[in-house]
Amino acid sequence: MPVNLHVRNVDDAVARRLKVRAAENGRSAEAEHRLILERALIDDRRAEALRVMEQSRRATADIPQTPSEVLVRQTRDEN
């Protein structure tokens, strides 16, 4: 369910820049605010996913890996 957010005490320069940015992108200020919030949160999730992948790479660095193309070729040859 959508929720209304209210932000108080925003610096005048920041508010002006948000309005200018919205106009430059052909969006309302409200739509621009939503997009900024969405992108910030998606970037956080992406950063967390990259961190987890890097941990996995380090944890398996000493384990021999079979390239995927080799596995695909073996599967094809078996059938």
Domain assignment present for 33: yes
Domain of residue 51 covers: 12-78
Tell me the CA distances in angstroms from 37 to 3, 5, 30, 70, one per residue in order. 13, 11, 11, 43
**pLDDT tens-place string over residues 10-64:** 999 999 999 999 999 999 999 999 999 988 888 888 888 888 999 998 999 899 9
Domain assignment present for 6: no
Per DSSP, helices labelled H in the chain are 12-24, 29-59, 68-78
Domain assignment present for 4: no
Domain assignment present for 5: no
Domain assignment present for 53: yes
| Residue 62: predicted pLDDT | 92
Report the mean per-residue pLDDT for the chain: 91
Domain assignment present for 1: no
How many of the other CB atoms lie within 10 Å of CB of 36?
13
Q: How many domains does the chain have?
A: 1
